[in-house]
């Protein structure tokens, strides 16, 4: 059963909150096959393993924003307590708190999902840098082409009709 959970499905459950990639307690509980209450109870029994950079509770504003973004929970079916979220390190620590074989296997899949996200972000960053470099070159080429175009236009302009030059010297008045 665990082998058929695609990494992409797990990747979809990783959110960016407070500048950190995190997973919701309810999503983790679903993956581990336990109730959210039981997952959080196990964490609270071992709270010294979960410092703030491993796990934190969402604020009401963060929770409402997340609910809006991902369309979770129907109207009137709100959670009684604000959810906890776990960073990659917090998820890794969960395997020591939840000691089942399923928890170990799910953690392996989750770690692969975090790695996949890092790889995608790295690839995206490299592509963005290449595009920026090419844009800069194109802008330079555009400037050169405009200069060439302006010079060619000057060369192909018809010469303006010139006035007869004034004669220098003595002219008799008639």
Distance (Å, rounded) from C-alpha 108 to C-alpha 110?
5
Mean pLDDT in each 10-residue stretch from start to end of the chain (174 residues)?
Answer: 67 86 90 89 91 91 81 57 90 81 80 82 76 80 82 77 70 70
User: Tell me, what's the pLDDT at 136?
Assistant: 80
Give the bridge partners for 85, in sequence order.
Answer: 24, 56
User: Tell me, what's the pLDDT at 78?
Assistant: 54
Give the CB-side neighbour count of residue 90, counting CA atoms within 13 A: 27
Give the CB-side neighbour count of residue 46, counting CA atoms within 13 A: 17
pTM above 0.75, yes or no: no
Q: Which fold has domain 2-127?
A: Mlu1-box Binding Protein; DNA-binding Domain (3.10.260)
DSSP string, 1-25: -GGGS-HHHHHTTEEEETTEEEEEH
């Amino acid at each position: 059963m665990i082998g058929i959970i695609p990494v992409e499905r797990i990747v979809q459950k990783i959110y960016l909150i407070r500048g950190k990639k995190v997973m919701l307690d309810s999503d983790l509980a679903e993956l581990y096959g336990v109730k959210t209450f039981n997952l959080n109870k196990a964490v609270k029994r071992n709270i010294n393993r979960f410092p703030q950079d491993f796990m934190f509770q969402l604020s009401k504003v963060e929770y409402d924003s997340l609910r809006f973004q991902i369309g979770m929970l129907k109207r009137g079916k709100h959670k009684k307590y604000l959810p906890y979220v776990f960073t990659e390190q917090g998820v890794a620590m969960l395997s020591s708190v939840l000691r089942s074989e399923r928890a170990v296997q799910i953690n392996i899949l989750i770690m692969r999902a975090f790695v996949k996200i890092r790889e995608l972000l790295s690839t995206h960053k490299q592509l963005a840098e290449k595009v920026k470099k090419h844009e800069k070159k194109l802008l330079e080429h555009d400037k050169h082409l405009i200069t060439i175009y302006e010079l060619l236009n000057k060369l192909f302009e018809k010469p303006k009709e010139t006035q007869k030059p004034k004669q220098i010297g003595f002219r008799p008045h008639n």
